[in-house]
Amino acid sequence: MRFIQSCIVSLLTVLASVQALTYRGADFSSLVNLENSGITYKDSGVTAKFETILKNHGANLARIRIWTSTSNSQYSLNYGLALAKRAVAAGMTLLIDLHYSDTWADPGHQGIPSGWPTTLSGLNTQIYTYTNSLVKAFAAQGTSIQYIQIGNEINDGILWPVGRISVNGYSPLSQLLHSAANGVRDASSTTKIMIHLANGWDASSVASFYNQIFIAGEFATGDFDILGFSFYPFYGTGATYGALQSSLQAMVTKFGKDVMVVETDWPAVCSGVALSDTAIPVSAEGQSTWVAGIRTILQTLSGGHGIGIVYWEPGWVGNAGLGSSCADALLVDGSGNTRPSIGMFSSSM
């Protein structure tokens, strides 16, 4: 097994010069909050805005999360609008990540926002109105959204308990996604809609979701454009390149839609954690190698449907583990100085 993994790493090294993906992205949603706490960033010893550093190293896609909170410290719409202006000014395309929650939304948390209805009928109206007005707000300030996620890691649905699959089955979620998609379509003819699932490597779970989410008169294949997935090495040893390739190719074969890996990280410092690829070093070099491997998988997908990667929160100083049990998965050190892996946006994606 170690020999096979070593061969894979060697192959990735050989392929490092292949053509880059269309989108080489970073989710730096926490940036303004970090700046407000006094964090600054340096690249080769020169202080610069973090979005500028990312762009200078090849990043061309900014992923920005939006919560339903009205507090700027909690990723409000106004916070997202301001950060979007900076990202676009730096020359980046926008991927807006709607959590439909006052706080984190993920496979274990999808709470209905405070003040929102708690019935399916009311939520269908609310999610349409909210999504529609949000897309219009971005366009009104000159930062039109190219890609939008209608939910974040929605493996068990959104707006719990109403839209929770494990409680109420697929129909409520199917209706809610259809309403959200209509909100986008009615606000913009150019914004592409993404469905985002965690554990993109888990072919069985991914297939199960997509085999059941489409219901006549509710969510349809025409309601979305992009398949988005998270792929982390921290949360299960099954998260291998081979498993990811098999899962993504199955979805491309089934739907013929483009694919992005919109969340990934690799540790620069880590001990005592079983990572899913033991052949890749825990280091800045390993961070670039891990991402290069994802790029290679996306490039092997039929029809050229693999189009982008997003590194999640590369500059979140003070939260360096990024939700994992590893000590540090950032592309900067604790003082905000870039690591060599900051070059992954041009050399590894």
Give the pLDDT confidence of 106-147 residue by residue, as tens digits: 999 999 999 999 999 999 999 999 999 999 999 999 999 999
Residue of 35, 51, 218, 263 with catalytic role: 263
The whole-angstrom separation of Cα 25 and Cα 117 is: 35
| 189-229 tens-digit pLDDT | 999 999 999 999 999 999 999 999 999 999 999 999 999 99
Are 59 and 26 spatial neighbours (Cβ–Cβ below 8 Å)? yes
In this structure, the chain runs to a length of 349
* Residue 19 pLDDT class (50, 70, 90 cuts): confident
| 280-291 tens-digit pLDDT | 999 999 999 999
Quick one: 142 exposed, middle or buried, by C-beta within 10 A (0-12, 13-18, 19+)?
exposed
Are 50 and 315 spatial neighbours (Cβ–Cβ below 8 Å)? yes
Name the residue among 228, 299, 244, 325 with its Cα closest to residue 277.
Answer: 244
The whole-angstrom separation of Cα 305 and Cα 328 is: 32
Query: Would residue 263 show up in a list of annotated catalytic residues for this protein?
Result: yes
Q: State which amino acid sits at residue 291.
A: V
User: What is the pLDDT of the chain when averaged over all its residues?
Assistant: 95
Which strand (E) or helix (H) includes residue 41? strand 41-43
The whole-angstrom separation of Cα 238 and Cα 134 is: 37
Query: Would residue 285 show up in a list of annotated catalytic residues for this protein?
Result: no
Joined tokens for residue 130: 């909210």
The whole-angstrom separation of Cα 214 and Cα 218 is: 7
Structure-model confidence comparison of residues 173 and 8, the more confident one: 173
192-197/23-27 β-pairing: unpaired
Neighbours of 42 (CB within 10 A): 15
Q: Please tell me whether residue 59 adopts helix, strand or coil conformation.
A: coil
pTM of the model: 0.94
DSSP string, 140-179: HTT---SEEEESSS-TTBSSBTTTBHHHH-SHHHHHHHHH
46-48/41-43 β-pairing: antiparallel
Which strand (E) or helix (H) includes residue 50? helix 50-56
Cα→Cα distances 112→103, 109, 122, 134, 166, Å: 10, 10, 12, 17, 16
CA angle 298, 290, 24 (to 5 degrees): 55
Q: What is the pLDDT of residue 10?
A: 46
* Residue 8 pLDDT class (50, 70, 90 cuts): very low
> What's the DSSP call for residue 111?
B
Q: What is the pLDDT of residue 20?
A: 87
The whole-angstrom separation of Cα 95 and Cα 193 is: 10
What helix, strand, coil percent values describe the chain, rounded to 5? 40, 20, 40
The whole-angstrom separation of Cα 329 and Cα 230 is: 15
pLDDT at 235 over 90: yes
23-27/61-66 β-pairing: parallel
Phi, psi of 300 (to 5 degrees): -85, -10
Residue of 51, 153, 218, 313 with catalytic role: 153
Quick one: 308 exposed, middle or buried, by C-beta within 10 A (0-12, 13-18, 19+)?
buried
